[in-house]
Structure formats: C-alpha cells, structure tokens
Chain A
Amino acid sequence: MAGRLLLVCRLLLRDVRRRRTETVLLVIAISAATGTLTLGLALNDALAGPYERTRAVTAGPDVVATPTATGQQALAALAPLATAPGITAHSGPYPMAYLMLTARGRTVQAVVQGRDDSPAALDRPAVTAGTWVRPGGVVVEPTFANALGVRTGDTVEINGHPLRVVGTAVTAARAVYPSADWRIDSGSPLVQLAGLVWVDSSEISLLADGRPLSYTLNLRLADPHASTSFRHRSTAGIEYTSWVQIAETDGRLVRQAHKALLIGSWLLTILAVAGVAGIVAGRAVEQRRRVGLLKAVGSGPAMVAAVHLAEYLVIGLAAAGTGLAVGWFAAPALTNPGAGLLGSTGVQPPPLRTVVTVTTLALAIAAAATLGPVVRAATTDTVHALNDAATPPRRRRWRVRLSRRMPAALLIGVRVNARRPRRARLVMLNTLITTTALAALLMGLAQDRTVKLGESELANPRDTRTLQAMLLVIVVVCVLALVNAVVTTWSAILDNRHPLAVARALGATPAQVTVGMAVAQTLPAVPGVALGIPAGIVLYVLASNPGIRYAPNAWWFAVALAVLLTIAALTAIPAMLAARRPVADTLRSTPT
C-alpha cells in the first residue's frame, strides 16, 4: 500500500513539474470560480457584520423614536419614554430638520441632526475622518459625502448658510445615504431619499430658518427581543424604528452586489468546468501512452484512475486555497470604503462554512471535468494505449455534404469543426457564458444609476456597488474565457495539424487554412452568442428590481460582433503561425 502511495505521489509530482503551464492554467481556471464564490460568501457576511460592529462601537440604540409632532409638542411626547418601564437607557432627544444642502453646485435633500460633544449613553457616532461637530462645522455621513464628492475642509451650504465640512462619521441609529428618510414637512408620513449630516445643536434653529424642528430619541430596551419583534410602527403619534429595520436598509447597499457575485460565481463555475475539461481533454491524448505503460507493468484500472485523479484533486485543492485567499482579501474593496458602516470582511479568517463550500466547489469542478477522461483512461486497452492512437475524429455526414458546396476556406472550417464535436460544444459553452455575463453587464450599464434628491441627482451607492461587482465578475469571466479560448484553439490546431497539412499539400493556401481554422472556432461561437444575449437579459431582469431599462439594440450588435471577432482573431493568430511551418515537416511528424 505504501509503495503504491509512493508511486502515485511520485508520478503526480513529476507530471505537475513536467506540465507546468497546463497546471498553472488549471489552477487559474478553478481559482477564478472559487475566488468569486468566496467573494460572494464574504459579501453575504458583509450584509450583517459591519452593521452589527458599527452598532456595538457606536452604542447603537435598540429603537429610535420620532414623534410626528414638532417643537415643544414633540419634546413633550418623548419625555415620558425616557423613564418608561422596560427602557434601560436613552439619549436625546436630538433636534432634527429636513433641509436642502448644496455642495459642488448640486442642491440635495439632507436630514440635519443637531448634536454637541456632551457624552451620550446611546448613539455615539464614530468619526471616520476629521473631527466631531463644532459651531460652524458640519459632519457628513461617509456614503453621502462620497456621493456629494465632498471631503473634510470643503464648504457646503445648508439652506444657504455656509458650513465647513469638519469630518465624516458613521451611526447605527439611522440608515445610510440614500435612505436617511427626508420629509417635506416635519411630521409628514411621506419619506424621501436623503443623506444624513450632523451640525452643532446651537445652530440648527438658525439653519432651519425658524421652521419647527423634529426630535428623535434613542432607546435601549431591557428585553432585547422587544426590539426585534418589529421593524417600524407608529403608536400614539410616535414612530418607532427598530435597529433591525435600519440594519436591513443598510444591508440593501450591497444586496444586489452580493446577488451579482453569487450569479457570477455560478457562471464562472460552468466556465471553469469547461476550461478544465478542455485542458484535461488535451492532456488525455498525451497521457494515453503513460496509461499503456502503467498497465503494461501491472497497474490495474484502479491504480491508473488513482494516479490521474490524485493529480487533479491536488490541483483542485491548490486552486481552492488560491481562490479563498484572493476572494477573501478582495472582499473589502467591495464593502469599503464609504460603506457608511464600520469594519469589513477580510479582516478575520474566513469562516469554516466558506472554506468547506469553496473547497467542495474546487474539488467538484476538478472531478466533474476529469472523471470521464480518467474512467476512459482506466478502461483503455493496453496495446491501444501503448500505440498512442488518438481517438478517431467523428464523421458528420451532413456537414461534409454541406461543406462540398462552400468555398475552400469555409469547407475547411466546417469539416475541422465537425471532427471534434465535444470541442465545438466547449467553444459554444465558453461563448455562451461570456456573452451572458457581457449582456448582463450591458443591462447594468443601461440603468439609471442615480437617485433624485430634490432638484439634483446623485450617484446611487447601491447601483454603483452592484456595477462594481458586475465589472469584477466580467473581468474574471473574460480572463477565464480568454484562457479557455487559447487552450481550445491550441488543442484544435495541434489536433488538426495533419488534415490541414494534407489540405495544403493538395493546394489549400495558408490564408485558406487560417481562415478555415478561424471559421471552425467561430461557428460554434455563433449559437453561443445568439443564446448568450437573451440569457444575459433574462438573468438581469430576474435578479433586478422592477422598472429596468433595456440596452439599445446597437449595443447587442456590438457585443455580438466583438465576441465573434475576438474568437476569430484568437484563432487566426496561432493558426497563421502554425501555417508557417513547412507542410513536409508536419506530414513527416504525423503519420496516419
């Protein structure tokens, strides 16, 4: 047993060392899928984690109470709450005004809260840049500051009163921009999108120009379950918002991005399986002889299968580790900066659940793509394997007949394509996934990614984040698709060296052979593109909220053309290089 194990390990190490490029490509392919899945799972944690951390650091309240009344009436309504039974702590009431803020030429709605530097039992906003409020200064919630494009030291106007931005701070007592709930009149039940700012309490009346002020009171309940039993309710003229509601609203900031990453990881998984299958199929031809040798010296099918599977499983494990590391460390880029919350993923080691899920995915990809070739290798006849005979190409009668009526380049392309239908299917799948992802991205780009806050429009952080996630997915998809395309093209060129050399000996020109190869690779890509565009649209529609815009038709034509031309060019270049090799050399080296 030990001897067999040693043999398996030895063969594994030698093979990995001998085929470094293929091993690296396999690791890249699987890592792309595992990395994106890690990112998706990390973002899943980001939906809850940062809010909870922010709540802990800022002593976030369990419930925020805001009367519909204003002025003294509001203060009178809130007064008994502070000492009500079941309340263990409170802060406030703090004055609030729903005003217009002007920054960089844009006037938008802002919820302005009056605060001072006296210690508060609850809701102590954590300053993330600059300082806390002081007279003449304003502190802006970071997501709002990002959308406005303001930094510490800039000057903004609130209701025409200039104030200096002295800092940015985060709170768990109110949802981040654009969900800070602005009201056209204090006490109005209708809320609109806005951002949150803090000013010195002494200045808020002046900024409000005498308009009646609202008030808000932060409460801590003795019974923690009491705050999780509801989200929002209105009782006796007071609106109560629980921390659960605020956490959910903040979570929406990355929810769509999380969905995009998870869907992206599915697409990448399919792409990775296709890529690994392509590489493994290419290697299977070379490994056939080794299988014959192993069998000739007494190895059984189980031993042959173990030698091959072990190698791919080790590669799968390496890719799982790489994907986990890359995905986990890349996660903060999508949750920070300016999430309006404290802390992020990527700081702590990934949870066991994520490690297990990602490792399972990597091993599943490796197993799914390799099981077929491994079983075939294990059951191959020894003499046949020793003869190193490649699997004979398929004969597609109708394609041969159809191609007879075509010009030489097309005839070559159709026949080359017909020889290896499995490879053609891989090309189609590769194109389908890439086009689906590109089409979904185009749909994302076609949407209005701004929110209207009064007279002006500002960037919507949710859409910005979703687009960032989609861009990340599409970059990884394109890289992986490119790797797959190069691998498939090279294996196609190597596999077709002989028929192309014969065609050239019979009078086909290098240009006809090159175009023929490009046609052979592009033909299966056509249905991939044709199906990928509607698939991408449907995927986007299903994963999005209602009221979406469709991208213009010109975009679809452009993406279809770009994908097909890229595949044609990717094939034409190596085919052109291969066509430079003298025909006689190829014919001598590939006897039939």
Chain B
Amino acid sequence: MSESALLRARGVTRWYGRGSALVRAVDEVDLEVPAGQTVAVMGPSGCGKSTLLHLLGGLQRPTDGEIWLAGHRIDTMSERALARMRRQHIGFVFQSFHLMDELTAVENVELAALLAGQSPRRARRRALDLLDRVGLADRATHLPSALSGGQRQRVAIARALSNEPLIVLADEPTGNLDSAATLEVLRLFEELRTAGQTLVVVTHDARIAAIADRMISMRDGAFADDSRFAGAGNGSAAGTGTIYGGWR
C-alpha cells in the first residue's frame, strides 16, 4: 500500500447481529484513495456501500480492520477526536440532504464552519461564496422547504465543502433527485473532480460513475471489481491552490 494515500482501509469489516442472524455488511475490505481521486462505489442495494462510506467517515466503527485518514488512524479514535476529524477533514453529502428545516440555505452551509469555531463573519462569507459557486446565491435566504430537491442537494454539497475538507464522502447524492436535478449535481461533482477534490461517491447512477477516476463494484460486503480509468489518482491538484482555488 502506498504511504501517500489520503484514505486507507485495511481489512475493514462490519458485522451486524450474531449467530445465524449475523450479517457481514462489509467484509474485509482493503481500499486506498490517493488525494485528488474521485472514486465511485457501485453495487446492488444492501451490498454494504453506505455502511462502507459511514465507516470511512467515522460515523460508524468497524468490527475489525484499520482506517487511516491523512495519516491518522481513525477507527481507534475517541468520539471527540473523531468529531474533530470530521469537522476539519471530512465533508458529507447524504441522499436525504439532512438539512436543518428551520435554517436558511446560507445558515445551513455556515453551520459546519460555526461548529468548527470560525468567526460568524468569516463563516458567512465562505457560505455565501460557496452558494454562489453552486449557483444558489439568489436562494441564500430561502428555507429548505422553499427549495427544489436539486437545490437542496446543492446546498448540502456547499455545506460539505464549508470547512475545506480533505475528502468529500457522498452517499447516493442523486438518489432522491429527478433527471434535471441529477444533472446539476453531476456538473458540481465534475467541477470538484477537476478542481482536485478527493471524492468517494456511493451511487447507483452510472452517470456519476462515468465522471469518476475509479469505479469499485461491491457485492455482499466485498469488492467485486476495482477499475481505474485514464489519469486516475494523479492527485496533482490536491492542495496546490490553483485549480483547487476555485473551491477553497
């Protein structure tokens, strides 16, 4: 395994239940994601894609195995340290958006920055900037209930980028969207990939897989196939501030 990988997983396993009811949601998975790579994880429902993503983001703990992010082993971290890791280095995008209903779009985006202790002024400026980049500058003061599905997901993507994460983990980001909204989100992910943002996207949508540098197929909790496309994982743009500058 390469020591330079941003995200590394070794023998990661997650079981549910016991005895005859034992379910191996994720079964001894090894994964290495270099900085700047876009990885699409595909597979049938219930194959363990979302569980893997939650394990990689520290939202769940593995039954066995190791997970390293930016040189830190996260599977043994305390809840407090894990929270700090999520705050500083990980951005999440969920299928169900998970926006706060009572907060406006800009307030939702700045929430992560405020939790990280940024000044309100700086957090707001960054949130407005991100909303502008996802094409929602004119919807900044709208509540989620006043936004379409695609707009909500774009707000969620802006929120995920709020703290300039090392990696964005997206769980079925187009699962709840119609075709037009899916295209909007696809465009954003394409831009992020071009800007050198490390992305791991769990999806059913072949169009997202098409823009990835690498596609992993999962079946019964294990990797069935791992395909790399041309130029995959070069990581050349990560942290350079040139192409990335558009998002950071």
Q: Which residues of A contact B124 (CB under 8 A)?
A: 404
Q: Is A395 an interface residue (CB 8 A)?
A: yes
Q: Which residues of B contact A585 (CB under 8 A)?
A: 60
Which parts of B172-229 form the interface with A (CB within 8 Å)?
Answer: none
Q: Flag if A408 contacts B114 (CB, 8 Å).
A: yes
**Contact for A592 among B96, B111, B123, B143, CB less than 8 A:** B96
**Which of B79, B83, B120 has the most chain A CB within a 10 Å cutoff?**
B83
Binds B, one of A251-259, A507-515, A552-560: A507-515
Q: Flag if A499 contacts B116 (CB, 8 Å).
A: no
Q: Which residues of A contact B154 (CB under 8 A)?
A: none
Q: Is A503 an interface residue (CB 8 A)?
A: yes
Q: Is A17 an interface residue (CB 8 A)?
A: no
Q: Flag if A506 contacts B107 (CB, 8 Å).
A: no
Q: Is B88 an interface residue (CB 8 A)?
A: yes
Q: Flag if B100 contacts A510 (CB, 8 Å).
A: no
Q: Is A400 an interface residue (CB 8 A)?
A: yes
Q: Is A505 an interface residue (CB 8 A)?
A: yes
* Complex CA–CA separation, A392 to B51 (angstroms): 29
Q: Is A24 an interface residue (CB 8 A)?
A: no
Give 1 or 0 for each of A400-437: 1 = CB within 8 Å of chain B CB: 10001101100100010011000000000000000000
Q: Flag if A506 contacts B102 (CB, 8 Å).
A: no
Give 1 or 0 for each of B107-137: 1 = CB within 8 Å of chain A CB: 1001110111100100110000000000000
Closest Cβ–Cβ distance, residue B122 to chain A (whole Å): 11
Q: Which residues of A contact B111 (CB under 8 A)?
A: 503, 506
Q: Which residues of A contact B84 (CB under 8 A)?
A: 507, 509
* Complex CA–CA separation, A395 to B79 (angstroms): 30
Q: Which residues of B contact A407 (CB under 8 A)?
A: 117
Q: Flag if A505 contacts B92 (CB, 8 Å).
A: yes
* Complex CA–CA separation, A336 to B162 (angstroms): 71
* Complex CA–CA separation, A582 to B120 (angstroms): 29
Which parts of A543-592 form the interface with B (CB within 8 Å)?
Answer: 579, 582-585, 587-588, 591-592
Question: Chain B: interface residue count, which band?
Answer: 35 or more
* Complex CA–CA separation, A503 to B59 (angstroms): 12
**Which of B100, B107, B112 has the most chain A CB within a 10 Å cutoff?**
B100
Q: Is A283 an interface residue (CB 8 A)?
A: no
* Complex CA–CA separation, A504 to B112 (angstroms): 10
Q: Is B49 an interface residue (CB 8 A)?
A: no
Give 1 or 0 for each of A507-530: 1 = CB within 8 Å of chain B CB: 111111000000000000000000
Q: Flag if B107 contacts A502 (CB, 8 Å).
A: no
Q: Flag if A408 contacts B101 (CB, 8 Å).
A: no
Q: Flag if A507 contacts B86 (CB, 8 Å).
A: yes
Closest Cβ–Cβ distance, residue B187 to chain A (whole Å): 24
Q: Flag if B61 contacts A499 (CB, 8 Å).
A: no
Q: Flag if A506 contacts B159 (CB, 8 Å).
A: yes
Q: Flag if A592 contacts B115 (CB, 8 Å).
A: no
Q: A393-B102, A395-B102, A583-B59 are in contact. Are A504 and B83 (CB under 8 A)?
A: yes
Q: Flag if A394 contacts B102 (CB, 8 Å).
A: yes
Closest Cβ–Cβ distance, residue B101 to chain A (whole Å): 5
Q: Flag if A411 contacts B114 (CB, 8 Å).
A: yes
Q: Which residues of A contact B96 (CB under 8 A)?
A: 587, 591-592
Q: Which residues of A contact B247 (CB under 8 A)?
A: none
* Complex CA–CA separation, A110 to B117 (angstroms): 75
Q: Flag if B80 contacts A395 (CB, 8 Å).
A: no
Q: Is B99 an interface residue (CB 8 A)?
A: yes
Closest to A393 in B: B102
**Which of B51, B88, B111, B145 has the most chain A CB within a 10 Å cutoff?**
B111
Q: Flag if A592 contacts B88 (CB, 8 Å).
A: no
Q: Can you list 5 A-B contacts (CB < 8 A)?
A: A405-B120, A411-B114, A584-B50, A592-B96, A592-B101
Interface residues, chain A, with chain B CB atoms under 8 Å away: 392-396, 400, 404-405, 407-408, 411, 415, 418-419, 498-499, 501-512, 579, 582-585, 587-588, 591-592
Given A505-B98, A506-B159, A582-B54, output 4 extra A-B contacts at Cβ < 8 Å: A404-B120, A510-B80, A582-B60, A592-B96
